[in-house]
Structures are given as structure tokens and as C-alpha cells.
Structure 1
Amino acid sequence: MTTKDKTLKGKFIVIEGLEGAGKSTAIATVKAWLEAKGLQVVCTREPGGTPLAEQLRTLVKQAAPQEQIAPETELLLMYASRVQLLRNVIEPALSVGQWVLADRHDLSSRAYQGGGRQLGDTLINTLRQAVLGDTRPDLTLYLDIDPALGLARAAHRGELDRIEQEQLAFFERTRDKYLQIAATEPGIVVIDASQTLAQVQTALQQALDSSGL
């Protein structure tokens, strides 16, 4: 993890992906891999992960029929939740040598709000630098899936939240942004999430084995 605080000892791994990509299963696979090496693992999720951040998660996720949530409002709520989690959970865990395994982080906002909501990079880059500074994950595993397939999978989980109810084009833009960033920035490994469960698990383990962490 690159950060201004050079005392951090643990490593920071993030699982990313569209709805229905299989993040929960991937997290379980990565957690088992880490624990098999005798590492202490703290699992987090975004938005959420602290009492205040969970309240912000509710605001982001639930539909508000009486008032449309502006894309910029959604973005700011995401970063408010994120910095609470970073300061109160992630950084303290890393500082004592624990490894943090996160269900989403900053890349989600860059893809969903930057790509899906079409807010672009300028606002988000300014905000992330102000809020996160130089903090970056050591490894990001992006589970790539065709949005139509992912949404079909997600529909079987139960009622969809506000963001999950967006049109297919929104998720197509989000996926395009994920892939664009993954192609140009180091530390992001793309996993084909349309494969069988066994194949995805093997790909995750291979990515971890070759990561050098």
C-alpha cells in the first residue's frame, strides 16, 4: 500500500466487479488463500464498514422516489463513506500487520460514477487526491463480466437496490471504464468472471501467486 504513512505493514487487496460478477465468492477464495499462509485478514465492504459508513450506504442504496439523487451527491456520499472506513478500519489494521481484503474501493467510484454516471475523471481525481492522498491498494482483482449476464445473476439474489435497477447502458459504460483503467494502470488484474466457479477460483489463486505480495 502506497501511503504517506510509511509505518504501515500489512497489505491491501481489493475485489472489484459489476453486479453478479461473484465478488462474495471471490472474497471467500482470497481470504482462504491468505489465511492458509498464516496471515490475519480484515474484510471490509464499500460503501459501509463502520457505523456511520453503513448509514451512508443506506442513503446510497435505497431508492428515494420523492427526490432524485444527483450523480455528484452519490459520488460525495461514496467518498464520505470511504474515508471513514479508511481512517477507522483500514489504516489501523494495516498498521499492526493485518491484511485488508476489501469488497470494493476507490476504483468502484471511478468506474460507476466516472463511467456509468459520466462524471468523468477531473472531479473524481481531485476528490480522491483530497480524501485518499497517496493511498492505493497493493493489488486489485477485477472480476469482468458482460453486464447482461451479471444483472441476470443478480436478479436471482432478490430485490435489486437503487443502483442495481439502472439501465443496461449504465453498466456497459461502467464496465468500459473498469477495463480502460485496468489496461493503463499497474496493480489491477482482470479475471474472466463468466467462467465456471472452479476456473475463477483457479484464476484468482494464480493471480495471487504471481502478485509478489
Structure 2
Amino acid sequence: MPTPDQTVEPLGRRERKKVETRRAIRDAALALALEGGVDGMTVARISEVADIAPRTFFNYFSCKEDALVTDGAGAGAQLREAIVARPEGEAPVDALRAAIIASDFVAGMQSGREQMRQRHCLIQDDPALLTRQLAQFAAVERAFAEGVAVRTGLDPDDLRPATLAALALGVVRVAVRRWTADGSESPADLIASGFDLLQHGVFAEGATTRPAEGATPA
């Protein structure tokens, strides 16, 4: 979902293979966790189902649990670059909104809603997975803060970029949670609505979320 002022470079053959392998590992891990639980899932079985060598698994994930949670480091690095690359002079909150909505993470959600819902349920029901997921969210939040810091000339730990990053991550998490539960609105629209509330005041008079596509205003 690139914006008009961004150019998307096509992935080379090697990069496409890496993306496909990562996806195969994650799909295999989810299928096995749903079938026999996280405790019964092993790296050996994941590798077998994904048709890779066990040593290849560790080129992508440090442990079996990481194959089930969000890749915070990977997503964060891409988002940080996208935030920094937004047009000069764009307000930090607008840069965050645009970078997030145009990200591969959001673009890939619509075609994988059921898998994302299943993964979300697994994580919420498993304390160890939830802990790792929160750590991945922290990595994404840090990336948001770093991207804003570069644009503003501030330190990432300054209260302003750190607070904006935390709020932006909150918008994403609420949008994803609502989308996995309902699905009547697109992830991009939900995130955009969350940023609308963030910018105009969540409880400000007249503040509302944008209607779902095709909905008739009351």
C-alpha cells in the first residue's frame, strides 16, 4: 500500500525466498500450535512441516515461540526507515500515520485475517507467548520513537517522541484487536480512525471515527 510519493523497490530473488521461508515457518508453527498446543510444538516439527532444515529455522527465529509472535525487530526497522523517509516538513503524527498505513504489516493483514485471529487467541491464552509479544511491541515502539527523533532532531528518549510512539503503538494495537474480532472495517481505516481521534481529541466534542467503507452516516 505505497503512498503516491513513495517508490517501492521490487524484492530480488534472494529476498523473496527469505520472505517465503519466513512465512512458511510462521504458517507451520501456527498450524502445529493449533493442532497440539505450544508445548507440543517443536523446532524439529516446524522445520519438517515448513520443509527446511532445523538449522535454517534459527536463521530466522531464536526459538519456537518467536515464530508465533510479531517480528518486532523486522517490522520496526522497516517502519523506522519509512517514518524517516516521509516528506520533509510533514508533522510527526502525520508521518507516523502514513508510514504505518503504508507498511507491509498492514498491507498483509487483510489477506490473513483468520490466521491473525488464531495467532492472537493463542498469544492471549499463553503467558509465555504474551510476554514475548509485549517485548516485540516494545521494539516497534522504540522504532517509532527513533523515527520521530530523527525527523525532529530530538533524542528518542525525549518525552515528546517517546510519548507519541507509545500512543501510535496503542492505536495500532487497538485497531488490530478490533479488526481480528470484527473485520467489518479494513485495518488501514481503523488505524486512520485511531489517529483521527489522537489528533482531534478522543473525547473532544464531535470527535468520532470514520464510518466503514460503504456505510451510510446516521
Tell me if both proteins adopt one fold, taking TM over 0.5 as the criterion.
no
Q: Which has the larger share of strand?
A: 1
Q: TM-score, normalised by structure 1?
A: 0.32
**Greater relative contact order (Cα 8 A, min sep 6): structure 1 or 2?**
1
Question: Which of the pair is proportionally richer in helix?
Answer: 2
Structure number with greater Rg is 2
